Chain A
Amino acid sequence: MNAIETHQLSRRYGKAEAVHGLDLTVPAGSVYAFIGPNGAGKTTTIRMLMNLLEPTSGDARVLGVDSRKLSPRERRRIGYVSENQKLPDWMTVDQLMRYCEPLYPTWDRDLEKKLLRKFELPPERKLKQLSRGMMMKAALLSSLAYRPELLVLDEPFNGLDPLVRDEFIAGALEVSEQDEWTIFISSHDINEVEQLADWVGIVDAGRLTLAEPIDALLARFRTIEITGLADDLQICSAPETWLEVEQAGNLVRAIETRYSPDDLERDCLHRIKGQAVVAKPMTLRQIFVAVARDGRNQARKPAA
């Protein structure tokens, strides 16, 4: 079963299309990183999933329920933390917990205490007196203590220092791993999510450009470098699976999106009269940048 499924989900703001025909599948139990540059439509997508915004077209199912029909019963199974969310900041941390507790039959006081200690949150301190990082931790705590099946984190790390970020991630992971929750986390910074996600979806300009398990993604993307004599290096025809092909002197560099160790050397040397081929693994950040850049180039083509 999938925790989240969307089908042709779209949302327009006047003439601007924030999300366009999004088909997203988040497997249950996965930690899904939903990444994209600022303005890519991540927050809009999450708002539609949480029924904060109504889709212009298409539909979404969250925990098997139409997102437009999410009732308190489903919300008890969903945790939501967003950088945009306003907490009742006149409350103390403890008041916030006491306010949330009766809303969730599954509220776990022991877990709450444990996380309170772990996050080093002062229970008697008012939320408005907390730093941004502490505030986010309080929000996370109020969403973890009832052990939700699905935890949705919308840009939770924005403005957090690395220490707080690590604590935040560790807290979320530690609890979620015990119960095999699904975590859906959006971010524009891949480094933040690389260490915790096992699935990744890259969204750009409101379109999902890529979605697959991180391991598979890392396995199929490579930076390839072909060296040879400058006069011999002729790019006859770059395969469709190559991105960002460029030549500089006696070096041709490209990104292979369907890397296969067996076929690479033969394929490269067949197309380009080089002497040596080196394939280097890519980081998620590099993949993200390459895919995003390619997406934009593709988008520009029809206009040109």
Chain B
Amino acid sequence: MRQAVHILRKDLVRLKWILMLLGIVLGGGLVLARIQAGLDAETAAMFQGAAKVMIFGVVPLIQVGLLMGLLHDDSVVALDVFWLTRPISGVELLAAKALGWMMIGIVPVAVSVPFWLTHDFGWAQIGAAAQQALRAHFLIAVVALPFAMMSVSGSKFVMSLIVAGGGILLFSLVLQLGTTPGEEGVPRALIQTRAWLACWIWIATALTVAANQFLRRRTRTSRALLAVAVVGVLFIVACWPWTLGAFRDGSATSTSAVRPNGVESIDRAEIRTDSKPSGDRIGIPLRDGAVVSRRGVTLYIQTAFLDWTGKLDVSFGEATPTPFERFSELMPGAMEPPNHASQYFIRHRITGAMFRVNPTELPNRFNAAAERFCRLSFSTRPAAELAGRPAVDVAEWMEDAELIRFADDAHEPEKRVTGRRISPR
């Protein structure tokens, strides 16, 4: 292990400038995201766009570059590399690279922590948000790992990524060509099954190839494995016929609450639906996904239904008691012991927001990816109104979300809700 740390140190020295670039780009994106929250809608859109490009476009690219740099310095494919003739075992090298990738994953988290803190994230929320950032980091690694590992130079790596990306695009186009217009599409549960299987095949292949290359350096076997995996994935995406049980009967994850800079669900178990929410009522407990402050409740939504304009129901769930002092600090004047709902509010107090919802863009399939992160804002009741109420139900149309704007005046909650009003249970 000492040797792995020694190699890790070498890698970090080598990649320090790219790591700094990663921090700067991500930090810049977060600053832009922070600035846009206080701007009018038009100006904010510009900042928001720039922030999105930096956070969701440039940062992953840098992460891919870092992965490449990490692996290419001690290539497991080439014969002329330095480490091969030195007393370094494949296990140690693999450990070093895994450690390196983990260390690199810490950078986005470290850069985001101040942002989270200034937005009143609690420790649990910071933990969840960090987990999401690391998950995204892992995802990038899994996708790019086989390409980075099996290439010996940056140009070959980029070329293989382009070829793979182009191939997938071409394949999906071919699949679409085979569909008759007006024909009912593949059931969502089946699509999810296919995606799930394809993902796991790829993950398993990536890990197997990594182990094979680092421990045994059987490049031909690895290439054969990759080829089989690609064919397998394409086959599954095109013609896998069976739906897995986990994706039937509305048990699949389709809508979830996310953190401002997160990319995935925080509390997936709480928010599940398999039906398109249009016209249906989905209960979303305001747990980790909800952000409540004196100024209002902010709910970050990530939807898997890209053209979703349906109805959203939000309800507060159970909450863990929090210290009374926090309650007093948050809601001055409410001196009575905290009740169920207000405790919850305190626990999840977060102010500020990253993204404004623009529901008119949501139905657009091609913009949807960029518009995944929507913000729905709901006014809270003054503390006095909340007292004695066990929970609050909030119902709102997403189309109305644009109208639901924050107002700084916490004492006029009704005015802030220009869509449907909050209706206490």
Distance A75 CA – B85 CA, assembled complex (angstroms) = 7
Q: Are the CB atoms of A73 and B87 closer together than 8 Å?
A: yes
Q: Are the CB atoms of A52 and B85 closer together than 8 Å?
A: yes
Q: Are the CB atoms of B85 and A50 closer together than 8 Å?
A: yes
Task: Please classify how large the interface on chain A is, using the bins under 10, 10 to 19, 20 to 34, 35 or more.
Answer: 20 to 34
Q: Are the CB atoms of B88 and A103 closer together than 8 Å?
A: yes
Distance A104 CA – B87 CA, assembled complex (angstroms) = 8
Name the residue in B3, B10, B81, B82 with the highest tally of chain A Cβ atoms < 10 Å from its Cβ: B82
CB proximity of A158 to chain B, nearest CB, Å: 14
Is B239 at the interface (CB under 8 A from chain A)?
no
Distance A83 CA – B415 CA, assembled complex (angstroms) = 77
Distance A103 CA – B88 CA, assembled complex (angstroms) = 8
Distance A80 CA – B87 CA, assembled complex (angstroms) = 11
Could you say which residues of chain B place their CB within 8 Å of the CB of A104? Answer: 87
Name the residue in A47, A72, A73, A76 with the highest tally of chain B Cβ atoms < 10 Å from its Cβ: A72
Is B14 at the interface (CB under 8 A from chain A)?
yes
Distance A71 CA – B85 CA, assembled complex (angstroms) = 10
Q: Can you name the residue of chain A whose Cβ is closest to the Cβ of B218?
A: A54
The stretch from B72-80, B115-123, B173-181, B358-366 touching chain A is B72-80
Could you say which residues of chain A place their CB within 8 Å of the CB of B2? Answer: 102
Is B389 at the interface (CB under 8 A from chain A)?
no
Distance A78 CA – B88 CA, assembled complex (angstroms) = 13
Could you say which residues of chain A place their CB within 8 Å of the CB of B6? Answer: 99, 102-103
Is B89 at the interface (CB under 8 A from chain A)?
yes
Q: Are the CB atoms of B86 and A86 closer together than 8 Å?
A: no
Distance A100 CA – B85 CA, assembled complex (angstroms) = 12
Q: Can you name the residue of chain B whose Cβ is closest to the Cβ of A71?
A: B89
Kindly identify, within residues 43 to 81 of chain A, every residue whose CB is under 8 Å from any CB belonging to chain B.
47, 50, 52-53, 71-73, 75-76, 78, 80
Is A84 at the interface (CB under 8 A from chain B)?
yes
Q: A52-B84, A75-B87, A86-B80 are in contact. Are A102 and B3 (CB under 8 A)?
A: yes
CB proximity of A304 to chain B, nearest CB, Å: 37
A 139-151 to B, binary, CB cutoff 8 A, 1 in contact else 0: 0000000000000
Could you say which residues of chain B place their CB within 8 Å of the CB of A88? Answer: 10, 14, 73, 82
Q: Are the CB atoms of A47 and B86 closer together than 8 Å?
A: no
Distance A272 CA – B286 CA, assembled complex (angstroms) = 110
Q: Can you name the residue of chain A whose Cβ is closest to the Cβ of B89?
A: A72
Q: Are the CB atoms of A76 and B78 closer together than 8 Å?
A: no
CB proximity of B417 to chain A, nearest CB, Å: 58
Distance A87 CA – B84 CA, assembled complex (angstroms) = 11
Could you say which residues of chain A place their CB within 8 Å of the CB of B80? Answer: 82, 84-86
Could you say which residues of chain A place their CB within 8 Å of the CB of B78? Answer: 86
Kindly identify, within residues 62 to 99 of chain B, every residue whose CB is under 8 Å from any CB belonging to chain A.
73, 78-82, 84-89, 92
Q: Can you name the residue of chain B whose Cβ is closest to the Cβ of A99?
A: B10
Could you say which residues of chain B place their CB within 8 Å of the CB of A100? Answer: 86
Cβ-neighbour of B86 out of A84, A90, A95, A103 (below 8 A): A103
Could you say which residues of chain A place their CB within 8 Å of the CB of B88? Answer: 72, 75, 103
Q: Are the CB atoms of B79 and A87 closer together than 8 Å?
A: no
Could you say which residues of chain B place their CB within 8 Å of the CB of A82? Answer: 80
Q: Can you name the residue of chain A whose Cβ is closest to the Cβ of B15?
A: A90
Could you say which residues of chain B place their CB within 8 Å of the CB of A72? Answer: 87-89, 92
Kindly identify, within residues 194 to 225 of chain A, every residue whose CB is under 8 Å from any CB belonging to chain B.
none
Could you say which residues of chain A place their CB within 8 Å of the CB of B85? Answer: 50, 52, 75, 78, 80, 85
Distance A90 CA – B74 CA, assembled complex (angstroms) = 13
Residues on B lying within 8 angstroms of A by beta carbon are 2-3, 6, 10, 13-14, 73, 78-82, 84-89, 92
Besides A95-B13, A99-B10, A102-B6, 6 more A-B contacts (Cβ < 8 Å) are A47-B79, A72-B92, A76-B87, A78-B85, A80-B85, A86-B82
Rank and list the top 5 A-B pairs by shortest CB-CB distance, nearest first. A72-B87, A75-B87, A80-B85, A76-B87, A84-B80
A–B pairs, 26, beta carbons within 8 Å: A50-B85, A52-B85, A53-B79, A72-B87, A75-B86, A75-B87, A76-B87, A78-B85, A80-B85, A85-B80, A85-B81, A85-B82, A85-B85, A86-B78, A86-B82, A88-B14, A88-B73, A88-B82, A99-B6, A99-B10, A100-B86, A102-B3, A102-B6, A103-B6, A103-B87, A103-B88
